[in-house]
Amino acid sequence: MSRKAARTAGRRAGPRTLTGAQVVWECLTREGVSHVFGYPGGAILPVYDAMPAYPVHHVLARHEQGAVHMADGFARAGGGVGVAMATSGPGATNMVTGIATAMMDSSPLVCITGQVSSALIGSDAFQETDITGVTLPITKHNYLVTETDDIAPALREAFYIARSGRPGPVLVDITKDAQQGACAFDWNAAEPTPPGYRPDHRPRAGDLRHALDLINGASRPVMLVGHGVILAGAEGLLKAFAERTTIPVAMTLLGIGAFPGSHPLNLGMMGLHGEAWVNEAVQQADLLIALGMRFDDRVTGKLADFAPRARKIHVEIDPAELNKNVQVDVGLIGDVREVLETLLPGVAPNDHSAWLARIEDLRRHATARSIQSFEDDGHLYAAHAIHDLWQATRGTALVVTDVGQHQMWEAQYYRHDAARSLITSGGLGPMGFALPAAIGARLARPDADVWAVVGDGGFQMTMAELGTMVQEGVKVNVAIINNGCLGMVRQLQTFFYGARYHATPLVNPDFVTLASAYGIRGIRVTERAGVTPAVHEAAAHGGPVLLDIRVESDDAVYPMVAAGAGLDQMIRRPAQEAIR
């Protein structure tokens, strides 16, 4: 069915008789879904069989984990809801890592699984897994649908819940007999009315006044900006707020891009691998204004020592996050965009030049220890490779990272000016995220220059998705930061386990040859001078390009706050002489 025909069908009055499988696609079409990422099997086959009549493009992943990460990357890049689909049993259980990833990072997904027929439920039938039971703690909500009539209400509610309030993944498990049955399809009657679910919160007037008093009276304020600002689309308001108040902005890993990286008020990333001056500023601040971030333990370090001199304001859409980790003076429950809109007229233009000068001093001091200021000693360091990738792409790429050292170096050395230009898994941090999430991101934003920056370990967890990339004709460039080891874990062994490197060295395949097996151009880079030309070659090439960037393995991400230490007790990079 063409898009036009589908729209006409949508306007047709009165209920029509459809199979459950057709209802699934009707609902997806009416929800505006353009792509579904999935993998078929017996229990979901009625749905797949009905698919061709609908204007939705199905992307066949190579593994259901990949399908969910693709849907997640699609949602994070494009701002809509990502949709993934799988069969019962192993198909559904393979989705678990992807669903948990989306849950931890508040990413809106609808995952649809087939289930054995309702008469067989509980009989240990072939490929029967209680997936609603399995995913109960890792979904925002889930449904087991055993009646054809219930499919449309469940799916409409699933989309509503996934995208409203604090976004998150919702799973809809549909038995095979419900897919095969028939019902009178009535879109309007399926309007979502989930009982007890109230995602619309507004802060109290008294709390707003209190917040304004604190903001207007602070002399060493810092804004802590998180993913919620991007989810709310509040970047413009944040910039106006920061510029009017001249309050500097620190970002969480997932908040990167919410405020332009090149803006003079941008401090950079805070946290256990945050920049030294940012953590020091947080610790010295007299006011923290936390916007759409959840005080993750990677951000706070030892809670008892966190920002001891600061009053704290927390703007947050989920009441459960308020005073969960950090006790605050003022909690403003609501959408950060609406809250900033309300606060903006009441904030006084301010001059914090003395405070900004003090932070600038901290920054100058820390920069002397940055690897960027070290002269080239013939080794290729990951930080240099990422810095050069940033320069060669003029900072305009949409970068999707995996998990590990390269992820932290990307956050430190690739400067992001736009929201949704860095996609990374923060809360769960599953290796294998980058390649499939980058495929989803590129499908959501076909004009973006998408780069997957991935470790040699994580790449091998989902590298089969190169097949999806080729089958779909998707141009994602891949930069493998190849240090020959599980770098982030090796780093822990270096510092805390007497440099006993058990189970962290990797024997890798020849990634360039591997790429060629998929018909993908591969380029090996072994010295710093090779990075920029390789990035330019990738940009000029019509299809995807894979760079195997061989970097120094004996390196660590600095600064580093050890587990249980305060945010200002950072292990710093030794001076250049010391590492020679």
Ligand X SMILES: Cc1ncc(C[n+]2csc(CCOP(=O)(O)OP(=O)(O)O)c2C)c(N)n1
Residues with a catalytic annotation lie at 64, 126-127, 176, 488
Q: What is the CA radius of gyration of the chain?
A: 25
Is residue 82 within 8 A of residue 88, CB to CB? The reply is no
Question: In the structure encoding, which two tokens stand for residue 189, read together?
Answer: 């009657």
Q: Out of 231, 371, 439, 531, name the contact with ligand FAD by CB under 6 A.
A: 231
Q: Out of 18, 183, 211, 317, name the contact with ligand FAD by CB under 6 A.
A: 317
Nearer to Mg ion, 228 or 487 (CB): 487
Is the Cα dihedral 336, 342, 345, 349 positive or negative?
A: negative
| Residues in Cβ contact with 284 at an 8 Å cutoff, skipping those fewer than 6 apart | 220, 309, 358
Nearer to ligand FAD, 176 or 406 (CB): 406
Pairing verdict, β 16-19 and 182-185: antiparallel
**Closest to 298 in 3D by CA, of 215, 452, 403, 395:** 403
CB atoms within 10 A of CB 552: 15
Q: How far is the CB of 332 from ligand FAD (least distance, A)?
A: 9
Q: How far is the CB of 490 from ligand X (least distance, A)?
A: 7
Cα(420)–Cα(76) distance, integer angstroms: 7
Q: How far is the CB of 46 from ligand FAD (least distance, A)?
A: 36
Pairing verdict, β 570-571 and 560-561: antiparallel
* Helix, strand, coil percent content, the chain, rounded in steps of 5: 45, 20, 40
Residue nearest to ligand X (CB): 455
- Positions 319 through 338 that interact with ligand FAD (CB under 6 A): 321, 335-336
Q: Out of 41, 274, 331, 440, name the contact with ligand FAD by CB under 6 A.
A: 274
Query: Rule CB under 6 A: is residue 177 a binding residue for ligand FAD?
Result: no
Q: What does the angle CA 473 – CA 98 – CA 422 come to, to the nearest 5 degrees?
A: 65
Q: How far is the CB of 524 from ligand X (least distance, A)?
A: 17
Cα(281)–Cα(11) distance, integer angstroms: 57
Cα(555)–Cα(404) distance, integer angstroms: 12
Give the x/- contact pattern for ligand FAD in 148-167, rule: CB under 6 A.
Answer: ------------------x-
Question: In the structure encoding, which two tokens stand for residue 274, read together?
Answer: 């945050």
As a dihedral over the C-alpha atoms of residue 85, residue 91, residue 97, residue 101, rounded to 10 degrees, the angle is: 10
Give the x/- contact pattern for ligand X in 376-415, rule: CB under 6 A.
Answer: --------------------------xxxxx---------
Residues binding Mg ion (CB under 5 A): 455-457, 483, 487
Q: Out of 80, 334, 458, 559, name the contact with ligand X by CB under 6 A.
A: 458
Q: How far is the CB of 272 from ligand X (least distance, A)?
A: 13
Q: How many helices (H) and strands (E) does the chain have?
A: 25, 22
Give the x/- contact pattern for ligand X in 428-447, rule: CB under 6 A.
Answer: -xxx----------------
Query: Rule CB under 6 A: is residue 316 a binding residue for ligand FAD?
Result: yes
Query: Rule CB under 6 A: is residue 457 a binding residue for ligand FAD?
Result: no
Nearer to ligand X, 150 or 402 (CB): 402
Q: How far is the CB of 70 from ligand X (least distance, A)?
A: 17
Nearer to Mg ion, 225 or 551 (CB): 551
| Residues near ligand X, by CB under 6 A | 402-406, 429-431, 455-458, 481, 483, 485-489
